[in-house]
């Protein structure tokens, strides 16, 4: 017996999910399916991609807690074609079958498998188009001279070195200059390598050989 999850959704609070539940339970019984859980979104629009029961359904799908998802109609799962394709594509990758009562879609059959193949191709095309749009945007930004990605951290290395010479710990330096300990170490190392050798620069010259500080 296939472990089956029922997903039911009604848009308004005055609608009753029991109508869908009864029909889906009946279909599951006819097919000899074991209903392990029923996920009900009561009073949620299908246009919303985030719904409590749907989120729980997807989380349990990733944990392989069932083998098949049964819905009363495709629009109960999602009204947006894009969202519906994304959910069905995820089910396919997880090896979970999908059955819609009203549209008579069953991804376990030949027609259903063909639909999944088409959906997978459409989803892959959409991902490729998104990647290409991102790359095009980055190329345009470079041509316009705009910065891409995280901006380099601006550090006052001389101030960090002065504070270190006064005996401040790495933790205190990090808090004072609003940076991480790693950035403090990097600034001290860069300052040490950038300063020419000489008696006046003894402190900086010894920073590379200083043992790492473990305590803040």
Active site residues: 11
Q: Which helix (H) or strand (E) holds 70?
A: strand 68-71
DSSP secondary structure, 120-146, as one string: HHHHHHHHHHHHHHHHHHHHHHHHTT-
| Tokens describing residue 183 | 């950035």
For residue 172, count other CB atoms closer than 10 A to its CB. 15
Q: Using an 8 Å Cβ cutoff, are 78 and 11 in contact?
A: no
Q: Quick check: 159 and 153 in contact, CB under 8 A? A: no
């Amino acid at each position: 017996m296939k472990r089956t999850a029922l997903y039911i959704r009604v848009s308004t609070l005055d609608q009753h999910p029991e109508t869908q539940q009864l029909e889906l339970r009946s279909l599951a019984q006819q097919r000899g399916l074991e209903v392990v859980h029923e996920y009900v979104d009561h009073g949620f629009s299908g246009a919303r991609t985030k719904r409590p029961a749907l989120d729980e359904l997807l989380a349990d799908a990733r944990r392989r807690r069932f083998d098949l998802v049964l819905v009363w109609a495709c629009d109960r799962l999602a009204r947006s074609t894009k969202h519906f394709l994304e959910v069905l594509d995820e089910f396919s990758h997880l090896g979970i079958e999908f059955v819609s009562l009203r549209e008579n879609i069953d991804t376990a059959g030949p027609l259903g498998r063909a639909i999944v193949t088409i959906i997978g191709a459409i989803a892959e095309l959409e991902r490729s188009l998104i990647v290409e749009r991102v790359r095009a945007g980055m190329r345009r930004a470079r041509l316009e001279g705009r910065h891409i990605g995280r901006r380099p951290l601006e550090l006052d290395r001389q101030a960090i070195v002065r504070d270190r010479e006064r005996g401040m710990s790495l933790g205190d330096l990090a808090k004072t200059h609003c940076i991480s300990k790693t950035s403090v170490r990097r600034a001290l190392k860069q300052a040490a390598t950038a300063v020419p050798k000489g008696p006046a620069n003894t402190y900086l010259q010894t920073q590379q050989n200083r043992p790492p500080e473990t305590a803040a």
